[in-house]
Structure 1
Amino acid sequence: MNKFVKYTLIGLVVLGALWAAVFFIKSNSKSSITYETSSPFISSIEKKTVATGKLIPEDEIEIKPQISGIIEKVYLEEGVEVKAGDLIAVIKVVPNEQSLNQAKGRVNSANISLSNIKIEYDRNKTLFDKGVISSQNFNDLKLRYDQAQQELQNAQADYQIIRVGSTGGSSSANTNIRATVNGTILEIPVEEGDQVIQSNNFNDGTTIATIADLSKMIFEGKVDEGEVGKLKVGAPLKINLGAVEGKELNAKLRFIAPKGIEETGAVQFKIEGDVENTDDIFIRAGYSANASLVLEKKDSVLVIPEALLQFDRQTDKPYVEVAIGSVEEQKFERKDIEIGISDGINVEIISGLTKEDKVKQWNKTEPVKKGEEEGAEEESVE
């Protein structure tokens, strides 16, 4: 009986060991990876770049005063459409005391001169009527009298302009700020009571209003020096606005800057494009925008997904692995290839592959088992 129990226990131990071995082998064995393949195909491919920028009016006019003073009244608001000649604001003149005093003194001097010449003119006119003096002498005196009258009128007009901003007979007073072009008022940076400076040779003057035609917009952006050489004036642009989703505007490249500007270590070149008008989108000046430009395009070329490419670690040249025989055999050989342009998804194949080749999807990975995933998490926690 003891022998029977003994052999029974030995048998159970052996069976347990065998079962543990089988379980260990099964739990640690991994199924072999079956690689899928893809075939090259014919397609069109475009190499694009994106330029960031904004939309601005083609013509933006700043309205500046012709005389210094204080804003007395603003009649219009930002966003209002105006026509040339519409009154925007009125300036109240605050004359310079020195200039005003000088102008007043000039009026007094002209008055004195006119009074003296008038006395002489009246006396000589009587003598001329009696035939005492010649007509030449009288005409010279009359010329001096007329000039004195004109000088007085000029001095009075200058005094009036300095004092109130315009002469009494002026049809367009300098104090009236009017629109010079048709368009939309983009900005009125002044308020009633603000002091403004006139535009002159030494000062740009204070901007009263900015007017632009929003129906004529341009895209202004920048591209990197590595791509600017592939751009051509007249090339089509696709404009996407950050403020308007789902809408794309058409444009044409019209300007490429001849000189670049260095920004954060990279040289950028300014570009401009004429944006085509669209009635279903109201475009505001200053919208941020991205312009998609086609740098290079090829139609009906042999391509493969860029994810299938591999690169030699030493030469950095591209290659792929092609199936030998049937795909089920999972036998592959290396083929060096020559590639062309890429759009980030597909890449052009210049040589090395045909449409019949089966290219290995080399970066496929085996799904991680649940038990292995939990074990990996525990190891990472430790």
Structure 2
Amino acid sequence: MTSQLRSPGSLLAILAALGLAGCGQPQSDETSAQVGAPPARVTVLSVKPETVILVDELPGRVAAFRTAEIRPQVGGILEKRLFEQGAEVEAGQAMFQINSDAFKAEVGSAVAALQRVEAGLVRAQGRFDRAKQLVPTNAISREAYDDAAADVAQAKANVAEAQAALQRKNLDLAFATVRAPISGRTGQALVSEGALASVSSTTPLATIQQIDQVYVDVRQPASRIDAIREAGRSGQLDDASKLPVAIVAASGKAYPVTGRALFSDISVDPGTGSVTVRVEVQNPDRILLPGMYVRARMPRGVRHNALLVPQEAVVRDPAGTPQLVVVDDRKRAALRVVGLGEIVDRRYIVTSGLQAGETVVVQGQERAKNDAVVDAVPFSATAAQAAD
């Protein structure tokens, strides 16, 4: 009887023990999983000192290297246009023909006038030669001899005057053919055949622009020039005035040409506070045309031993302070506050808080807990750019 009463209690005790054991087993497995979790995988980059060129991308306008307006030097009716509009022309090439009949007639008249005074010179010279022979025998007065000498001098002056007049008439005849003053590309003809060409007209016959090399006039803030000079004096940056200037389209695409900075203007625009910098660009394929809006990447200094990290490596706290996750030799991650400079090719220049040779996390910072061991994988900039 006693044995039968004890059996249910024993069974309950056994079941209770089994239940407690069953509840405790999952808790033990969870703890074990936490303790044995693998380290977070991150991509890292070892920072090495580099030499970088700092540039300012500034707006600019293209201007022709030389511009010449074709204007007549004599008046008359235009008979012919001797060039193709928009074509390349050479200096001295005939561009327009003005009716030259009147100028030819004037040349003929000047030739006749020259012959007349030359004949007068021959006559005066003969008289002088005879008077010179008679002077020793006193067969002629001294006054007559002086008059003969003066007539020769007068005749020679008349000949010189007639020669100058003929030369001027020949120039007018030559000017009837209007020629290109410079080599370059023509625009449209502004005057058609049959029009009256006038020396006093305000409208040119056409315009020629030399664009095998061009100028790009860039607007640079005057404050930036002061900063560049100060950085150069302090030794932070080396002079970059001799470095080539890249020319970029408004869309951001770089043109296959480079230029060199010639000079900065000596005055500041009071309206914009900027200074004009003129850049000379070789333009053999005529890619850049006068009036085009472009952007010029102006080198303003060379920085040596600069430490650069990709932009995605930088994280910020709620206050906006820049930070980097640095991995030490034991694969432990640590959050570090750093100072940032400018962006060069999608990378920040780190000015403080980082040493050369240290390893920073580029991707996966959210998985790298402070003082936690991480699984570091080398970062590939090429792969990251391809993914972007």
TM-score by length of structure 1 reads: 0.55
Match of 1:228 in 2: 225
1:166-205 Cα distance to aligned partner (Å, 9 max, x none) = 626x59623321123333334544434154325xxxx9x7
Q: Would the aligned equivalents of 1:41 and 1:302 in 2 still touch at CA under 8 Å?
A: no
Distance 1:140 1:85, change over 3 A: farther
Q: Tell me the equivalent position of 2:66.
A: 59
SS at match of 1:181: coil
> 1:87 is matched by which residue type in structure 2?
A
Q: Which amino acid aligns with 1:89?
A: F
Write the distance in 2 (CA, Å) between the matches of 1:340 and 1:127.
99
Contact 2:322 2:340 in 1 (8 A): no
Equivalent residue, structure 1, for 2:300? 295
- Structure 1: distance between partners of 2:301 and 2:130: 95
Contact 1:49 1:292 in 2 (8 A): yes
Aligned counterpart, 2:7 = none
Conserved in 2, the CA contact under 8 Å of 1:55 and 1:217? yes
Maintained 8 Å contact 2:128/2:152: no
SS of the counterpart of 1:177? Answer: strand
* 1:268 has 2:298 as partner: no
Q: Which runs of 5+ in 2 are unaligned?
A: 1-40, 229-238, 368-388
**How far apart are the structure 2 equivalents of 1:252 and 1:338?**
33
Task: Report if aligned partners of 1:58, 1:216 keep a CA contact under 8 Å in 2.
Answer: yes
Aligned to 1:308: 315
Whole-Å separation in 2 of the counterparts to 1:276 and 1:155: 50
Return the alpha-carbon distance in structure 1 between the equivalents of residues 244 and 73 of structure 2.
Answer: 43
Identity, % of aligned pairs? 18
Residues paired across the two proteins, number: 289
Structure 1 residues 241 and 304: alpha-carbon distance in aligned structure 2, compared to 1, 3 A threshold = closer
Counterpart residue type for residue 178 of structure 1: R
How do 1:182-331 residues align onto structure 2 when only pairs under 5 Å count? 182-186=183-187, 188-192=189-193, 193-197=195-199, 207-229=204-226, 230=228, 232-241=240-249, 247-263=255-271, 266-278=272-284, 282-298=287-303, 301-305=307-311, 308-310=315-317, 312=319, 318-320=321-323
Aligned-residue offset at 1:151: 4.1
CA distance in 1, matches of 2:96, 2:321: 69
Question: Shift of the alpha carbon at 1:356?
Answer: 4.9
Unaligned runs of 5+ in 1: 1-35, 326-330, 363-382
Contact 1:39 1:304 in 2 (8 A): no
The RMSD of aligned alpha carbons is 5.2
Q: CA deviation at 1:137?
A: 2.6
Counterpart amino acid of residue 348 in structure 1: I
For the residues of structure 1 that align with 2:317 and 2:292, how far apart are their CA atoms?
42
Distance 1:320 1:182, change over 3 A: closer
Shift of 1:232: 4.4
- SS of residue paired to 2:270: strand
Distance 1:276 1:156 in 2: 47
Give a deviation string over 1:202-240, Cα, whole Å, max 9, x none: x9x764443344323332222222333438432221112
- Conserved 8 A contact 1:242-1:287: no
Contact 2:249–2:294 (8 Å) recurs in 1 = yes
- 1:173 corresponds to: 174
Q: Provide TM-score, normalisation by structure 2.
A: 0.54
SS of the equivalent of 1:84 reads coil
